[in-house]
Structure 1
């Protein structure tokens, strides 16, 4: 909530402090709000002040000037030389090219040293040989919203009221003063964090009420302003509007008769006003709206926005005469659901295709507004409008939220409807609307009548009776809820009353409190009233107390513990964990070069996505990780390691049945349903982990925990110790995956993958096309039947994939199906321990280098070395094999064609005695003989 203190001060006076500033050799005394009394008070009461902005800050050297005389520039036809009075001893010469620059007008002058919001710094200069000492500014050059119809294309004329100006008599005495002070435009804006249960704080009247309660308790002097409302200036009353709304289903506005059909069964009434005068808003209203980020349009639209910001009451005005009808003297609006594909042009001039679930306000030809969200271009109020109908409907909050998200357009009105408006105050809002346009019009508008809408059975759709909630509050409630007596009962009642509750004393210790309409959503009982007075008094007054209860220790969820163990291992390997929402974009499959959006399982499409461009529940964690890498790189972090442990989702249950038949039709998902995912792959729904396999899993999307990691950039950077950077390799990431699986007692095997189906040499995998052809691999484990099960994959990103995700450094990625690992660890098995107890004998390592054929893989070499020594270390030379690590692969100069040099190291730990030279010779000889024989290899060094 962005709260303007100028706006709040329309309801109550606020504490102020006086400050002196020196501008243009003038000592100016200014009055500013005492934020030390206001901001901490709001924060203490539960509304944290996230930021404070001062409107006009930094523009103190933009001052009021008066053009005394003007003459053409001698060498430039479009320029003029202005002699401007800015309150100095001599006139200041300024060159200006604005078409409306002329003598005898008051203007905004940016003095030298001023830095404008667009970054331009004003300095003395020569423009076509003419000295220029400043700049005459237009509104937009000062960061102010500009309406071309009102402001034109020239400089800001300060005495024009429609441009936010003030009378010339005032400006005469303000020459040389900072313009925001001279025009009374300075404002302080507080960005408040408002909790979901307090929609009453989404308007300035609500903020004023909250401050009144705080000031009352803190003994800060204030005055509640009686003239805050314009209703006192007209003879029309709230009761008149309510009576008309109850009585009338049809009314005349001039010669036009108006009715409304309601097919949505929601309360709604409409106010008819004739003889309006559409014109620019007065300066005070324009400045007030623009400080809050609103564009000033005209007095009618601005009044609508004022009522919304002041009282939290959304409304919309239609030009009655622009509504389409068969009879020009019979006009009608219809509240209904849109037709699929129906077109609508909003006030933002964008054409939208509507959905059947959208609720709209329509005439006989089509939609004139998306109810509660956005008005329409066709029936908007313009300078020619004479008759208007103002809609006050109460749409369903859920419907408004879904419609707003569907169209990616959240307005102030839709936000308020989502949170909940005070429907009891709708009639007051209608009165304020009429009263404000009356107060600012010379020719007073004519109130015609108010009507209710009717449903198909001709039943009035209107609410006029509101139940008030009464709570019996007594002096013992404080101790019951807070455990202590903190403030006297009398003070409690004063605070509650200051918040707008009506009190009726029944005895010295018992009172009935009537909940005000704006708090009806969150105040239900005595505990709520205690919360009200203690947050005003200060939650820090509640004494601390030890928790008196028997502690109950619950065992950890084994699945959670399993994921934590894997995550800890990733962290130990140097990865940093990321946390994200469970969503992906509709084009992520294309960016990964997948054949279909269902290549990794059919995703679940969201009807109402939280993030507009991420409409799918993710089936893979890779796209989100890659976007995070791209963002890190854009922030200057060129290398690193990230991992994400998270569930993925498919539109299948544990039995393979589709859950949502109408799934993602709007993004073309239904066109892909013919794609069949191979059931041997780790992405198939049969490999999902339906948590605890409870019966309720039937009919629910399969949820599969996955682990994805990425290494990007350099493994190590160039330093004084390293002559060059070290790059990541596929072997690094394969080793990481191996370590992760070993951390849960599982051994894995490797195989190369291909992006070509029915490949006789390699296993097909849909993700393979996203990876470099020569640097991609899949992982397998053995199931209870000793059959290989696909666990996941790893590889270097293909250059096309890197371009799609805007990544410019090499990346190696992996993704594992953790459900398969979980299942494997639950099977009965013998776990081979590499080290069983404390090490007693020294570890020995030996390095080998062989010349091998290019087609020999690391897995092939690993298997042969392991087989060559496993019998020896089991019986003849008792030992544990710690590792077989490839530490160098060389191709290039000096290597025969299709050959490579592979160097690896073995690490062995004796278990019964220290190795002798004879033991070591036996092991090395066995390795050399087996490798040279199996691969026709050549030993290069030992």
Structure 2
């Protein structure tokens, strides 16, 4: 929200605080000023001058020598190339020698132009930072000021300080200058009074209700529709004060009537719309009829931005007798816009449902000044003021005559005056300020703050509590804690003590939270980066991963791709990888820990919420001074083994899942299950190519997902084993087996055959090629033999080792490698 310091001073005559002080006070009260702009900073050194003569440049076509009267009997000649230099008698703006123009970072100095020295410059709006228009110089209306008057004095709105305020969505009252003035008055303890809506210059002999019939078909989506009219309108450029006021606040000046609607919106924070009544098409009876209704599926509307929009039944429309003329709360239609020949204007000021406006704006990819305000909630009680203000300005600035009265439609109520809106009543106990904030604020000060903010405060009850009627411009105040927040916010947040209050913990840290924390620490220690992912996804993504069907669907999702709760953690990880690869980052190592939501175990039960850990790796493994190589399934196995071992504290077994045994989302040639204590707890492997294509991941990804709930009791504690007293005897054996035989099966057979004397069995080499026959592999194992109560003899070790070779030969057809 852009706010004008000059406008705030007009609304608060008692305001003496400097722009810097206003900046600090707003920010400390929660209306953060994110930036300050000096609008028209070069105007103070520029002068209003009168043109007294114009002649061609002696050597350069397109240039003219303009003689101007600077006042006090001074005149000078400057070179000017603008096409709109007025005839003698016209008023223009001169930047004299030494003037600095910040918009162009230019200091005016004598300059020779085609042999003629110019000691000054006639300025355009762009050169003074007033607008982007630089096609011609500023020509002021006759009588604006006497020659020699500083331009900033002649047109005060050409110089202003503009605050850029970052309003939170719960403060729609700050989206208008009256709301900001009320807020500032409360903060500074000065008086605030509603400004006058202005005098009606002329009144026509016609009632507003005779200009158009208004019908509202959905009173929930449009709780109040107000209308007013003006006839005999003359469309033209806005006066300079209005032009520069709206332009200082980032709104382009278009014409007097359009600028009036924007000015009133910036003043009250309430969007309004102006219809060319002669372009509002009549109904079958020949009457002008404005209807607020839902769109029909497939109906179209060309909005003011020139885009034809295809509508759906949830869109709320403003229609004339033959079709849509505006998208309610978002943007008007092109068919009834104000044009140069407009003579009759119908003003609309309404209260539209915030959620409905938000849905329509998002659906059509639109964000306008109007939708921005309606989405946050406007003041439903200022419709009459807004209409009166617009009509009064129209009679003054466009020479119009006002139609008598107004039109107000509120459900079943239709009349010239609006039906009063009931105010929300909230109980306020002054002692709650101290209890919630630790600050002692006197009761009288608390009551005074609430009254300055626009609340109506009753006399205290017997228990000291007050009934506070909340003004309609503060939809964010709904409970006692909100009133306490307002009191302490105005009193001063810096008065809140910094010490922490005594807190009684609800329970000890443990359970699932501790399990999730431990899993995160383990993954991070392995070099994986944590990805913070949404619990929401879409049915399409779950289907692409062959994950369980969603058990929870959202009634009002943030977006279509976040319409269900996830049944696998992989959706968020793969979305992050897709985003990274679309931005050129190929190498990713990430993990996440969180719940998945599966179908309930019984009828009427809640979804089965399970805690899991998952990772996804893609691209090349880290390398230093060597050629990078891509991650493969062995990397995924290593990560999976270590995560499962550290989380469980137990031995981990990897069970290959070839062919049809593989989970549907994994490639059948590299998939495997993770087993702990004989229980299957997870799986890993390369993502199936079909899933890679469906999710547009642009390359292989290796994934892992494991249940954490089986280990909620914590990792198994290691058992103490006494330090061996007797020496070990290690023997190596290299067995040649067929290539398709899993090494794990051979290792298990070797361990069993070695008997109780085998302390450890470890595969330390796998070799193919050389003297190893084709289709075979050499698996080298180291077997460590030891007895806990004696030193083994060679004969005992030889016998056990011979049994290992014999078992491998009989079970796998293994031979000793030469």
Query: Given the two structures, how large is their TM-score scaled by the length of structure 1?
Result: 0.67
Query: Is structure 2 residue 548 aligned with structure 1 residue 642?
Result: no
Q: Which runs of 5 or more structure 2 residues have no equivalent in the other structure?
A: none
Q: 2:37 is matched with which residue?
A: 54
Structure 1 residues 452 and 286, CA gap change in structure 2 (3 angstroms)? same
Q: 1:861 is matched with which residue?
A: 743
> 1:926 & 1:432 partners in 2: Cα distance?
100
> 1:463 & 1:297 partners in 2: Cα distance?
31
1:385 to 342, 346, 350: 342
> 1:747 & 1:114 partners in 2: Cα distance?
75
Give the superposition deviation at 1:132.
13
SS across alignment from 1:709: strand
Q: 1:232 is matched with which residue?
A: 198
> 1:616 & 1:188 partners in 2: Cα distance?
44
Give the superposition deviation at 1:328.
8.1
> 1:850 & 1:863 partners in 2: Cα distance?
13
Q: 2:757 is matched with which residue?
A: 876
Query: Is structure 2 residue 170 aligned with structure 1 residue 190?
Result: no
Structure 1 residues 437 and 801, CA gap change in structure 2 (3 angstroms)? same
> 1:799 & 1:170 partners in 2: Cα distance?
77
Q: 1:42 is matched with which residue?
A: 26
8 A Cα contact 1:229 1:432, kept in partner: no
Structure 1 residues 798 and 937, CA gap change in structure 2 (3 angstroms)? farther
Give the superposition deviation at 1:251.
2.2
Structure 1 residues 906 and 251, CA gap change in structure 2 (3 angstroms)? farther
Query: Is structure 2 residue 419 aligned with structure 1 residue 464?
Result: yes
SS across alignment from 2:671: strand
Give the superposition deviation at 1:804.
4.0
> 1:263 & 1:379 partners in 2: Cα distance?
22
Which stretch has the larger CA shift, 489-498 or 108-117? 108-117
Give the superposition deviation at 1:459.
7.3
Structure 1 residues 65 and 233, CA gap change in structure 2 (3 angstroms)? closer
The number of aligned residues is 795
Give the superposition deviation at 1:575.
1.1
8 A Cα contact 2:590 2:616, kept in partner: yes
Give the superposition deviation at 1:332.
0.5
Structure 1 residues 933 and 531, CA gap change in structure 2 (3 angstroms)? closer
Structure 1 residues 626 and 315, CA gap change in structure 2 (3 angstroms)? same
1:252 to 204, 210, 223: 210
> 1:545 & 1:199 partners in 2: Cα distance?
33
Query: Is structure 2 residue 624 aligned with structure 1 residue 728?
Result: no
SS across alignment from 2:534: coil
SS across alignment from 1:302: helix
8 A Cα contact 1:778 1:790, kept in partner: no
Give the superposition deviation at 1:528.
4.8
Structure 1 residues 419 and 868, CA gap change in structure 2 (3 angstroms)? same
Q: 1:23 is matched with which residue?
A: none
Query: Is structure 2 residue 445 aligned with structure 1 residue 491?
Result: yes
Structure 1 residues 851 and 488, CA gap change in structure 2 (3 angstroms)? same
Map of 1:259-658 to 2, 5 A cutoff? 259-264=214-219, 266-326=223-283, 329-441=286-398, 443-453=399-409, 464-468=419-423, 486-502=440-456, 515=469, 517-518=471-472, 521-523=475-477, 528-543=482-497, 547=501, 552-554=506-508, 556-558=510-512, 560-584=513-537, 599-602=546-549, 608-611=556-559, 621-622=569-570, 624-626=572-574, 628-629=576-577, 639-648=587-596
Structure 1 residues 475 and 934, CA gap change in structure 2 (3 angstroms)? closer
8 A Cα contact 1:641 1:710, kept in partner: yes
Q: 1:200 is matched with which residue?
A: 173
Q: 1:749 is matched with which residue?
A: 654
Structure 1 residues 930 and 696, CA gap change in structure 2 (3 angstroms)? same
8 A Cα contact 1:70 1:103, kept in partner: no
Which stretch has the larger CA shift, 101-110 or 336-345? 101-110
Query: Is structure 2 residue 598 aligned with structure 1 residue 716?
Result: no
Structure 1 residues 474 and 751, CA gap change in structure 2 (3 angstroms)? closer
Map of 1:105-120 to 2, 5 A cutoff? none
Q: 1:758 is matched with which residue?
A: none
Structure 1 residues 914 and 93, CA gap change in structure 2 (3 angstroms)? farther
> 2:458 & 2:686 partners in 1: Cα distance?
72
8 A Cα contact 2:413 2:419, kept in partner: no
> 2:202 & 2:595 partners in 1: Cα distance?
60
8 A Cα contact 1:643 1:708, kept in partner: yes
8 A Cα contact 1:137 1:155, kept in partner: no
8 A Cα contact 1:200 1:518, kept in partner: no
Give the superposition deviation at 1:311.
1.4
Q: Which runs of 5 or more structure 1 residues have no equivalent in the other structure?
A: 18-32, 217-221, 590-595, 650-687, 754-760
2:686 to 794, 803, 807: 794
Structure 1 residues 351 and 215, CA gap change in structure 2 (3 angstroms)? same
Structure 1 residues 695 and 620, CA gap change in structure 2 (3 angstroms)? closer
> 2:719 & 2:345 partners in 1: Cα distance?
87
> 1:425 & 1:915 partners in 2: Cα distance?
99
Which stretch has the larger CA shift, 458-467 or 124-133? 124-133
> 2:187 & 2:275 partners in 1: Cα distance?
40
Give the superposition deviation at 1:133.
14
RMSD: 5.9
> 1:851 & 1:73 partners in 2: Cα distance?
101
Q: 2:702 is matched with which residue?
A: 813
SS across alignment from 2:281: coil
Structure 1 residues 930 and 481, CA gap change in structure 2 (3 angstroms)? closer
Which stretch has the larger CA shift, 486-495 or 896-905? 896-905
> 1:54 & 1:182 partners in 2: Cα distance?
16
Structure 1 residues 80 and 727, CA gap change in structure 2 (3 angstroms)? farther
> 1:134 & 1:852 partners in 2: Cα distance?
97
